[in-house]
Structure 1
Amino acid sequence: MLLVGAGCTSGKSDSSPNGTSSPTASSAPSLGPRAAAERDALAAYRGMWSTFVEAAKTSDAEAPELRKYASDQALRLIASGLYNDKKQGKITKGEVVLDPKVTEVKPEQVPTEVTVLDCVDTTKWLVHKASGELWDDKPGGQHRMTATVKQSDGAWKVNSFILEESGTC
């Protein structure tokens, strides 16, 4: 689910009229601090969801990748939910559809905190018994989510979030 794009060139060079080649200038402009913060915060947000979806397949509250993308309240919520699911014999399978948008950055000049708003679609991410059959007949839904992503020690992590009930977006 997490894809990191990188700029690339075709490997061709521009030819001058005399037949000599000159290197092609990179078409990817350098990002300013705000754009880089937004990109990195969204990558951490998507990374958290990707690792959460993977860990939920076995209800693994100790999945090490979770700590790469989540911290504090966000990590506690995810880990406790997975732990409780494991105790109850639940696993969650399927996919989550995300469409996150940055709504705020703080401070403006060199951001260290980004607020992300999303409508998390769990329509195809359903709770099952460990045996594989559905836990219940409750469908997934669309949930409004507000997340705070913070930079700490050079890494962006989802620090906290509020995931509202189904039907809120």
Structure 2
Amino acid sequence: MRLSAAGASVVVAVVLLLAACGSDGGSTPDPDASSGTVSSPAPSSPTPTSPADLARRDAVAAYVGMWKADAQAGRTADWQAPSLSRYASGEALQVLTGGLYADHANGLVSRGEPINRPEVTSVEPPDTPKTVMISDCSDSRNWVRYKADGSAFTDTPGGFHRIMAEVRIHTDGLWRVTQFGVGAAGSC
């Protein structure tokens, strides 16, 4: 998996924090986050009609978009990729950019991308959603790091990782992942 051992320790701690927190999570949306250009998948269910349904759809799109943007940025270890701040803010953005910066500093890039299976676990408040919690069993077996010169790098084997994420709506009307935690390989 592309996350470094130190990064994995941080995100495991965040998983525990998210599990202990309510849907508020104490996170403050970043109103100054900029927009990127990575596209999000189209909804696969019937057209949502309620505010909670719309929030579910948009939060899942932001969550999946974040991982796609991270995988794309990882191809060159571009910790400054503008698409990252389109889908993530706060602690989530710090974890992503920190991991990419570490890879850049160590001459590493990634190939592939994770396969995500996000499920919404809560929408709060239901009438005017501000926060959506997501649980995922992500498959990182085909998302690995290599040395930038193309030579082999012994990476931590990928696997199925439980991910808990908080996605919040921001003042610009966009949903962004604000916190996430990744469990160890085999956690789901």
Matches within 5 A, 1:13-28: none
2:123 to 84, 93, 105: 105
Farther-moved stretch of structure 1 (54-63 vs 104-113): 104-113
CA distance in 2, matches of 1:5, 1:38: 10
Change (3 A) 1:131 1:117: same
1:118 to 126, 129, 136: 136
CA distance in 2, matches of 1:108, 1:69: 22
**Which has more helix, going by share of residues?**
2
Secondary structure in structure 1 of the residue aligned to 2:133: strand
Residue by residue over 1:117-167, the C-alpha shift from the partner in whole angstroms, topping out at 9 and shown as x without a partner, is: 001110001110001233105421111000000001111000000111111
Superposed displacement of residue 4, structure 1: 2.1
Does 2:63 align with 1:52?
A: no
Query: In 1, are the aligned partners of 2:118 and 2:136 still within 8 Å (CA)?
Result: yes
Aligned to 2:149: 131
Change (3 A) 1:48 1:106: same
Query: In 1, are the aligned partners of 2:68 and 2:113 still within 8 Å (CA)?
Result: no
- Pick the structure with greater CA Rg: 1
Gaps of 5+ in 2: 1-38
Q: TM-score, normalised by structure 1?
A: 0.83
**One-letter code aligned to 1:143:** H
- Of structures 1 and 2, the one with the larger relative CO (CA 8 A, separation 6+) is 2
Change (3 A) 1:38 1:142: same
Gaps of 5+ in 1: 8-27
Secondary structure in structure 1 of the residue aligned to 2:49: coil
Farther-moved stretch of structure 1 (135-144 vs 106-115): 135-144
Residue by residue over 1:68-119, the C-alpha shift from the partner in whole angstroms, topping out at 9 and shown as x without a partner, is: 0000000000000000110001111112100000001111221110000001
Superposed displacement of residue 30, structure 1: 5.5
RMSD of aligned alpha carbons: 1.8
Aligned to 2:59: 41
Q: TM-score, normalised by structure 2?
A: 0.75
Does 2:173 align with 1:164?
A: no
Does 2:88 align with 1:70?
A: yes
Count of paired positions = 149
Aligned to 1:152: 170
1:2 to 40, 46, 50: 40
Aligned to 1:21: none
